Chains A and B, each alone.
Chain A
C-alpha cells in the first residue's frame, strides 16, 4: 500500500510540475495546489499507513495505534496551503486586472522600470 501511495504522490508531482511550467498564471496556481497535495500524501505515507487502530489516549499497548503525528502535520500544512493558495489567487486576479494579461511571458518586465 505504501508503494502505491508513493507512486501516486510521484504522479501528482509530475502533474504539478507540468502545470507549473505552463504560461498561464491560473495553471501555475493549480500546479502549486497539486504540489501541496503530493507533499501531504508523502507525509502520511512516511508516517506509515494503517498499522493499527485510531489513535486514542489510554494505557494500552502503544504499538496498536496509528502514528497520529503525521496527521497533525498534514492538518497544519493543509491550512497553510489553503491560505497561501487564497493569497496567490487574489494576487493573480489583481495582477490580471491591472496588467491586463495572465501570460507569464508578458510578465517578465523590462529593464527600464
Chain B
C-alpha cells in the first residue's frame, strides 16, 4: 500500500489537468475539485493512521533503491501537514465558489488551486532535496498565476516583486544544492544526513547550511519577509487565504526538516542563527502588526509573527518544543486562513480597507463578528481553542532549554497579536453601524459554510488536542531522532 503516498500529490495534478479540458463547465469543475479534494483528505488521513501504526512509509519511484532514485517518504510530521493543508485548500475552495467570480473560474482558477496543492503536498512528502526544489517550483509557478489572476493594477505590481524575489530564493536553493552535491555526492536527504554524521559537519557544510537557511528564510518569511505584506494583500480573498495558510508553512516545514535531519550537529551556529532570526521576526512582526490601519497589512504581519513563533520551537530543539511547533503549525494553517477570509470579507461588505473607516459590523452580521472574536482568541492562545496547546508546549520547551529571551519574546508577541486584532474588532465591529439595513450585502451561504467549518476545526483541534497527541508526539520524536528517519529510508 506504499503506493498510496504518491496520491496526495498525483491526484491534484491529474484533477488539475482534467479541469483544463472542462473550461466552460464551471459546475462540473467545482464538483470534480470538491470530490478530488475530499478523496485526497481521506487518503491523507489513512496515510497518517498507517504511519502511526506501521512506522514511516517510503515509495521508491521506478524501483530504484535509495540512495539512488527519487523517493517519497511519509513520516507523521509530513502526513499531518498534508492532511491539514488539503483540508484548508478544500475550505478555501468552497469560499471561492461564491466569491471568486465567473471570469476567473473560466480562466483555469481551479486547475491552478489543484496544482498549488500538488506542489505543497509534494514538498511535504519528498525525501530528496532536489525533488524538494522541483516541488517548490510547482507550488510557486501555480502561485505566480494565482496571485496575478484577475489582472488588477495592484496585483500586477505586487506580483512582479513576488515573482522576482522567489526566483532569487530558488536560485539560492540551486546554489545550495550544488555545494551540497559537491561535498557529498548525493541528494537523498537521509543519505546526506548519514554521510554527515559519519564524517562530521565540516565548516564548509555549515556554510552550506547557512545558504539553505537564507533560502528557507526567504520562502517562509523568517525576518526576510519584506515581500510578504504587499503580495499577500494583492490577490482576491480566497487566494490570499490559501497563501496565508499554506505557502509560508512549506518554507517552515523545509527549514525544520533540513535543520533536524541534515544539519543538526553544529547547533551553536545554525540553531543560534535561527533563534536570533526568530526573535527578530517576532519583534519586527509585532511592530508591523500594530503599525498599520489597513486590515490586510495587519493580517499579513500576523502571519510573520506566527513564523517567528513556530521557529522558536526549532531553535530550542527539545521534544516538547517540537510538539508545540507542530500543534501550532496545524493551528496556524487553519486560523490564518480563517483570518484572511474574514478580513477579506470585511473589505468586501464595507468597501473600506482601513479599520477606522468601518464601524458597527456586528449589528449587521452578528455570527460573522463573533467568529472574528473566536479566531482572535485562538490566535492569542486562549484555551480551549487551538492556539493554546501549541503555545504552552513551545513555552515549556523553551524553559527546559533555558532560552528565556525567546520565551519572553514569544509570549509578548501573543499580546501584540491580541492587541492588533482587538483594535480591528473594537473599531469595526462595535459602535454605530455604517451600513443601513437596505444597503447590507448579505453574506453568502458558501462564505458562512467555510467560516463555520474553519471555526469548528479550531475547536476540534483545541478540545481534541489529547486525541492528536500520539500523532504529534510521534512526529516530534522522529524530528528529535533523525536516525529513525534514516533507518526507515536506508536500512529497511
Residues in A lying within 8 Å of B, measured CB to CB: 20, 25, 28, 32, 35-36, 39-40, 42-43, 45-47, 67, 69-70, 73, 76-77, 80, 83-84, 87-88, 91-92, 94-95, 98-99, 104, 107, 109, 113
Which residue of chain A has the shortest Cβ distance to B162 in the bound complex?
Answer: A91
Residues of the A chain whose Cβ atoms lie less than 8 Å from the Cβ of B137: 80, 84
* B14 lies within 8 A of chain A by Cβ: no
A87 to B182, Cβ gap below 8 A?
no
B187 to A88, Cβ gap below 8 A?
no
Identify A109's interface contact among B145, B158, B174, CB under 8 A: B158
* B444 lies within 8 A of chain A by Cβ: no
Residues of the A chain whose Cβ atoms lie less than 8 Å from the Cβ of B463: none
Distance in Å: Cβ of B159 to nearest Cβ of chain A: 6
CA distance A84 to B182 in the complex (A): 26
* B395 lies within 8 A of chain A by Cβ: no
* B156 lies within 8 A of chain A by Cβ: yes
Residues in B lying within 8 Å of A, measured CB to CB: 130, 133-134, 137, 140-141, 144-145, 148, 151, 153-154, 156-161, 163-164, 167-168, 170-171, 174-175, 177-179, 181-182, 185, 187, 230
Residues of the B chain whose Cβ atoms lie less than 8 Å from the Cβ of A35: 167-168, 171
Identify A43's interface contact among B151, B154, B181, B185, CB under 8 A: B181
A-B contacts counted at CB < 8 A amount to 92
Q: List the 8 closest pairs (A to B, CB-CB), nearest first.
A: A46-B182, A95-B156, A39-B174, A43-B178, A46-B178, A32-B167, A42-B178, A80-B137
Distance in Å: Cβ of A67 to nearest Cβ of chain B: 8
Residues of the A chain whose Cβ atoms lie less than 8 Å from the Cβ of B161: 107
Identify A87's interface contact among B133, B145, B153, CB under 8 A: B145
B156 to A39, Cβ gap below 8 A?
no
Which residue of chain A has the shortest Cβ distance to B134 in the bound complex?
Answer: A76
B144 to A107, Cβ gap below 8 A?
no
B163 to A91, Cβ gap below 8 A?
yes
B159 to A98, Cβ gap below 8 A?
no
B175 to A42, Cβ gap below 8 A?
yes
Distance in Å: Cβ of A52 to nearest Cβ of chain B: 15
Identify A83's interface contact among B141, B158, B174, CB under 8 A: B141
17 example contacts (A-B, Cβ-Cβ < 8 A) are as follows A20-B164, A36-B174, A39-B174, A42-B175, A43-B181, A46-B179, A69-B187, A73-B130, A76-B134, A84-B137, A84-B140, A84-B167, A88-B163, A94-B151, A98-B151, A99-B156, A107-B161
Residues of the A chain whose Cβ atoms lie less than 8 Å from the Cβ of B170: 84
Distance in Å: Cβ of A89 to nearest Cβ of chain B: 10
Identify B153's interface contact among A69, A91, A99, A104, CB under 8 A: A99
Distance in Å: Cβ of B112 to nearest Cβ of chain A: 12
Residues of the A chain whose Cβ atoms lie less than 8 Å from the Cβ of B145: 87
Distance in Å: Cβ of A38 to nearest Cβ of chain B: 8
Extra inter-chain contacts (6) besides given A39-B178, A84-B167, CB under 8 Å: A28-B164, A76-B134, A88-B160, A91-B160, A95-B160, A107-B161
A91 to B144, Cβ gap below 8 A?
yes
CA distance A94 to B170 in the complex (A): 24
Most buried by B among A20, A25, A95: A95
